[in-house]
């Protein structure tokens, strides 16, 4: 299956964006009458056929629509952006392929970067969703201050974890995370969280967890955490 993305799908006729039209007609060389699977990124799946093979605004006739099944768990990764934005883009691509639900970029005391172009990350997410055949695009939030995030009432029914470098961690993430739960996990910058931030997280109900014996880069830690939480639920 090849999946195409359209944020707003109209029925019975829908017109693709110029970027999607070009990929469909010029790159894949699809023609009038060819079957196409389309998603709006909100869980709806549309089976359609090409009416007009225009490489700038291809039009499709919607034949049928269904709603994709939702996960019974929710992974929210909150992570400090890396100094090199390419590393963060790589992580976002990979965790989208594996499967997560929401990403918040956090500003910490030791953050190396307090700004990142989320439009580039959004494109990575959409591309990875199409590649891995996912019908729901994860939520991408802009930079949020560490204290604002941990104090938010939004996460009252979440299992809340903070992962940081400590040889005396008593629990691995795989030991504490319960299947079928909502998870919020914090990953710090390359300089790690400041001890004061760690204590404030404890005060806000977060549990300390290890991601393994190796010392991981920020982006690798984010990827590992998502993979572990997916494994618990699969």
Instruction: Residue 175: give the domain boundaries.
Output: 74-232
Q: How confident is the model at residue 47 (pLDDT cuts 50, 70, 90)?
A: very high
Higher-confidence residue of 37 and 165: namely 37
Q: How far is CA 114 from CA 33, 80, 190, 193, in A?
A: 48, 8, 13, 15
Q: How many domains does the chain have?
A: 2
**20 and 46 both lie in a single domain:** yes
Give CA–CA dist 234/228, Å, rounded.
Answer: 10
**44 and 157 both lie in a single domain:** no
pLDDT of amino acid 66: 97
- Where a domain ends, among 67, 100, 119? 67
**97 and 135 both lie in a single domain:** yes
Beta carbons within 8 Å of 113's beta carbon, 6+ residues apart? 80, 81, 82, 83, 85
- As a three-state string, the secondary structure of 33-88 is CCEEEEECCECEEEEEEEEECCCCCCEEEEEEEEECCCCCCEEEEEECCCCCHHHH
pLDDT of amino acid 116: 80
Q: Which two tokens stand for residue 47?
A: 């089976």
Helices (H), the chain: 18-22, 85-98, 118-132, 146-150, 173-176, 195-203, 218-232
Check which CATH number belongs to the domain holding 50 and give it. Answer: 2.40.240.20
**20 and 78 both lie in a single domain:** no
**103 and 12 both lie in a single domain:** no
Give CA–CA dist 103/92, Å, rounded.
Answer: 9
- Where a domain ends, among 67, 88, 105? 67
Q: How confident is the model at residue 98 (pLDDT cuts 50, 70, 90)?
A: very high
CA angle at 142 for the pair 158 and 161, rounded to the nearest 5°? 25
Q: What is the pTM of this model?
A: 0.93
**90 and 138 both lie in a single domain:** yes
Beta carbons within 8 Å of 168's beta carbon, 6+ residues apart? none
**36 and 124 both lie in a single domain:** no
pLDDT over 90 at 114, yes or no: no
pLDDT tens track for 145-200: 999 999 999 999 999 999 998 777 789 999 999 999 999 999 999 889 999 999 99
**58 and 78 both lie in a single domain:** no
Check which CATH number belongs to the domain holding 144 and give it. Answer: 3.40.1280.10
- Where a domain ends, among 12, 40, 67? 67
Q: Which two tokens stand for residue 184?
A: 């919020």
């Amino acid at each position: 299956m090849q999946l195409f993305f359209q944020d707003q799908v109209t029925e019975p006729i829908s017109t693709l964006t110029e970027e999607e039209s070009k990929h469909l007609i010029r790159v894949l060389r699809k023609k009038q009458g060819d079957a196409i699977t389309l998603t709006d990124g909100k869980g709806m799946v549309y089976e359609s056929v090409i009416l007009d093979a225009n490489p700038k605004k291809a039009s499709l006739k919607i034949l049928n629509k269904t709603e994709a099944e939702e996960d019974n768990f929710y992974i929210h990764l909150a992570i400090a952006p890396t100094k090199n934005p390419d590393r963060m883009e790589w992580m976002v691509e990979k965790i989208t392929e594996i499967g997560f639900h929401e990403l918040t970029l956090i500003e910490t005391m030791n953050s190396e970067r307090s700004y990142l172009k989320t439009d580039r990350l959004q494109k990575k997410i959409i591309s990875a969703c199409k590649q891995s055949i996912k019908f729901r695009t994860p939520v991408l939030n802009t930079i949020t201050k560490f204290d604002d995030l941990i104090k938010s009432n939004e996460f009252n029914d979440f299992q809340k974890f903070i992962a940081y470098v400590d040889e005396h961690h008593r629990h691995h993430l795989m030991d504490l995370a319960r299947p079928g739960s909502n998870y919020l996990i914090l990953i710090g910058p390359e300089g790690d969280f400041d001890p004061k931030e760690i204590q404030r997280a404890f005060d806000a109900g977060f549990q300390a967890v290890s991601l393994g014996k190796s010392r991981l880069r920020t982006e690798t830690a984010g990827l590992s955490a998502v993979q572990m939480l997916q494994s618990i639920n699969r």
